[in-house]
């Protein structure tokens, strides 16, 4: 069969990214322009600023991706692009760009779901990984427990009822004065803290044992900080961070691996920005080994937003015959 060379574009949030992926699994280039520094002064992503920066950067990022892969547009088989979920203005930049390239180069356009991309990041470094498996997707906007039935075929088993896991990391980080983006900062400082210092709650959701809820945990952290202030006591950033992080990880591990067992799966994967958390990776590694579950995880750079994962997901869509028309639109609330 002929090689499929996919040019992939991702602009759903604050990363302007392009990548060239061969046959869904081999990354020839993976260029990411991160806007984090730009949004830090506002304490979070400002949608309008993100869109404008995407417009400024997108052509340069794509050129770099082609250059690094040592190919030109003439070598590309198809162009894949994230069309949702995400920030509408940010998504539109990638979608418009992908349409223009598809039209100009006369190659097919393939719209990709952002979460399908996160999950498919696992295919890149694990040549042996094939569906079915269960995947925990934990990012800034999503916390889903997904049964991957086949390539691009998903069934959601559990989801968060309120905050996404990454959102909780970001909010708690802000509350203890670590700033944005919170996940990596909590990850780092937790290494110096005691994860058992403060008994934060592990929330269960009554109606679905595979659902998550993190807003109660976030409130518990805020209450703890307030109590310290009222008593005129200082608190340990590292202990709060480590105890909070442990509470999140305990719940993610417990619910995920319970689902793997109950639904009779043998393989388990993690994905999304939170999956780059070092303690979370260690915890899943340990628990999966104990329970004899094959464990897969992308390297940290492929956990957070990137276009290589969109190239991987896009390849399997392309293989199934999925082609998007020039009426492809950004869908901020796109369902998996």
State the nearest-atom distance from the C-beta of 21 to Zn ion, in Å.
Answer: 17
193 scored as a contact of ligand KG4 (CB under 6 A): no
One residue of 89, 94, 152, 182 binding ligand KG4 per CB under 6 A? 182
**187 labeled part of a ligand binding site:** yes
**139 labeled part of a ligand binding site:** yes
Cα–Cα distance for residue pair 27/301, rounded to 1 Å = 13
**Contacts of residue 44, Cβ cutoff 8 Å, sequence gap at least 6:** 170, 180
| Pick from 295, 329, 308: nearest CA to 24 | 308
Residue closer to Zn ion, measured from CB, 90 or 242: 90
State the nearest-atom distance from the C-beta of 118 to Zn ion, in Å.
Answer: 6
**305 labeled part of a ligand binding site:** yes
Cα–Cα distance for residue pair 174/168, rounded to 1 Å = 10
Cα–Cα distance for residue pair 159/150, rounded to 1 Å = 20
Cα–Cα distance for residue pair 85/331, rounded to 1 Å = 6
**14 labeled part of a ligand binding site:** no
Choices 91-99, 182-190, 206-214, 222-230; region in contact with ligand KG4 by CB under 6 A = 182-190
State the nearest-atom distance from the C-beta of 187 to ligand KG4, in Å.
Answer: 4
Per-residue interface string for the shown chain with ligand KG4, residues 136-165, x marking contact by CB under 6 A: ---xxx------------------------
**162 labeled part of a ligand binding site:** no
Cα–Cα distance for residue pair 17/40, rounded to 1 Å = 19
**183 labeled part of a ligand binding site:** yes
**141 labeled part of a ligand binding site:** yes
DSSP-assigned letter for residue 8: E
**163 labeled part of a ligand binding site:** no
Residue closer to ligand KG4, measured from CB, 34 or 77: 34
195 scored as a contact of ligand KG4 (CB under 6 A): no
Which of Zn ion, ligand KG4, none does residue 169 bind (CB under 5 to 8 Å by kind)? ligand KG4
Q: In the window 278-317, what residues touch ligand KG4 (CB under 6 A)?
A: 304-305
One residue of 11, 51, 102, 139 binding Zn ion per CB under 5 A? 139
**Contacts of residue 88, Cβ cutoff 8 Å, sequence gap at least 6:** 47, 330, 332
Per the CB < 8 A criterion, the answer to whether 243 and 194 are in contact is yes
DSSP-H helix ranges across 138-208: 165-175, 182-190
Residue closer to ligand KG4, measured from CB, 97 or 167: 167
φ/ψ region of 75 (left if φ > 0, alpha if ψ in -120 to 50, else beta) reads alpha
DSSP-assigned letter for residue 208: -
Residue 283, judged by CB atoms within 10 A of its CB (0-12, 13-18, 19+), counts as middle
Per the CB < 8 A criterion, the answer to whether 11 and 302 are in contact is no
Per-residue interface string for the shown chain with Zn ion, residues 251-290, x marking contact by CB under 5 A: ----------------------------------------
305 scored as a contact of Zn ion (CB under 5 A): yes
Residue closer to ligand KG4, measured from CB, 29 or 245: 245
Per the CB < 8 A criterion, the answer to whether 36 and 175 are in contact is no
Euclidean distance between the first and the last CA atom of the chain, given in angstroms as a whole number = 30
Give the interface with ligand KG4 as residue ranges (CB under 6 A).
13, 139-141, 166-167, 169-170, 181-184, 187, 272-274, 276-277, 304-305
Residues annotated in the binding site for Fe cation, as ranges?
A: 114, 118, 305
Task: Mark the binding-site residues for substrate, compressed into ranges.
Answer: 137-141, 170, 183, 187, 277
């Amino acid at each position: 069969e002929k090689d499929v060379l996919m040019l992939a574009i991702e602009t759903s949030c604050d990363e302007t990214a392009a990548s060239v992926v061969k046959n869904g699994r081999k990354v020839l280039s993976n260029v990411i322009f991160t806007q984090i520094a730009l949004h830090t002064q506002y304490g979070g992503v400002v949608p309008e600023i993100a869109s404008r920066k995407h417009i400024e950067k997108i052509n340069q990022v794509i050129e770099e991706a082609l250059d690094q892969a040592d190919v030109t547009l003439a070598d590309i088989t198809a162009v894949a692009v994230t069309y949702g979920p995400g920030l509408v203005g940010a998504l539109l930049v990638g979608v418009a760009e992908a349409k223009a390239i598809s039209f100009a180069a006369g190659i097919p356009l393939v719209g990709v779901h952002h979460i399908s991309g996160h999950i498919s990041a696992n295919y890149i470094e694990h040549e042996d990984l094939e569906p079915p498996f269960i995947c925990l997707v934990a990012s800034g906007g999503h916390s889903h427990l997904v049964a991957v039935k086949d390539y691009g075929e998903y069934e959601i088993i559990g989801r968060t009822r309120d905050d996404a896991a990454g959102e909780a990391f970001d909010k708690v980080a802000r509350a203890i004065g670590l700033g944005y983006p919170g996940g990596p900062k909590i990850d780092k400082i937790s290494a110096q803290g005691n994860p058992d210092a403060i008994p934060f709650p592990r929330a269960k959701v009554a109606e679905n044992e595979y659902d998550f809820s993190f807003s109660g945990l976030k409130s518990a952290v805020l209450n703890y900080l307030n109590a310290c202030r009222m008593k005129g006591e200082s608190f340990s950033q590292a202990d709060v961070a480590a105890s909070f992080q442990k509470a999140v990880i305990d719940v993610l591990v417990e619910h995920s691996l319970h689902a793997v067992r109950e639904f009779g799966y043998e393989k388990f994967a993690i994905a999304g920005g939170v999956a780059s958390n070092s303690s979370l990776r260690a915890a899943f590694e340990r628990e999966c080994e104990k329970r004899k579950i094959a464990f897969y995880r992308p390297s940290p750079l492929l956990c957070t937003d990137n276009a290589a994962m969109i190239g991987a997901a896009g390849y399997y869509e392309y293989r199934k015959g999925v082609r998007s028309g020039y009426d492809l639109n950004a869908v901020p609330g796109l369902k998996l």
